[in-house]
């Protein structure tokens, strides 16, 4: 489906972290704004990951689900294709018109525009 963004989203200034099933991470603090997420440090970087994707949410953990922390920069008025809606975390994986993909907070969306097959 396609959706219109009504609130800008600017990703953090750090490289995205891509985790595969079985990767080991060190779990840090839980996010106060997005409580489904914990901050993790892995061999290749750090980022916010849904706690439910980890073997535990304290200390050392193993990823049980592959996850990419990439966020997509968008401006109000942009129309994106929604690839996946993660209602539990409050973020949607989207693709912009240039084909770039990443997470956008669900609170950035105004309304669904049209369903698509892609």
Average pLDDT, consecutive stretches of 10 residues, N- to C-terminus, the chain (118 residues) = 93 94 97 95 96 95 97 95 94 96 92 52
- Looking at residue 111, its pLDDT comes to 54
Summary count for the chain: helices (H), strands (E): 0, 11
pLDDT at 54: 98
What stretch of H or E contains 101? strand 101-105
Q: What's the topology of domain 18-68?
A: SH3 type barrels. (2.30.30)
Count CA atoms within 13 Å of residue 84 on its CB side.
Answer: 10
Residue 54 near residue 63, CB atoms below 8 Å? yes
**CATH number for the domain whose boundaries are 2-11+71-112:** 2.30.30.40
Task: Give 18: exposed, middle or buried? Use CB within 10 Å, 0-12, 13-18, 19+.
Answer: middle
pLDDT of res. 67: 97
CATH 2.30.30.40 domain locations along the chain: 2-11+71-112
């Amino acid at each position: 489906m396609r959706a219109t963004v009504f609130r800008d989203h600017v990703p953090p200034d750090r490289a995205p972290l891509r985790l595969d099933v079985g990767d080991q991470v060190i779990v840090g603090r839980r996010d106060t704004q997005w409580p489904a997420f914990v901050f993790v440090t892995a061999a290749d970087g750090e980022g916010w990951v849904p706690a439910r994707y980890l073997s535990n949410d304290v200390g050392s953990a193993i990823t049980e689900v592959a996850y990419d922390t990439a966020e997509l920069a968008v401006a109000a008025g942009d129309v994106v294709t929604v690839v996946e809606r993660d209602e539990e975390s409050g973020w949607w994986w989207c693709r912009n018109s240039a084909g770039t993909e990443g997470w956008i907070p669900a609170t950035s969306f105004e309304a669904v525009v049209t369903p698509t097959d892609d």
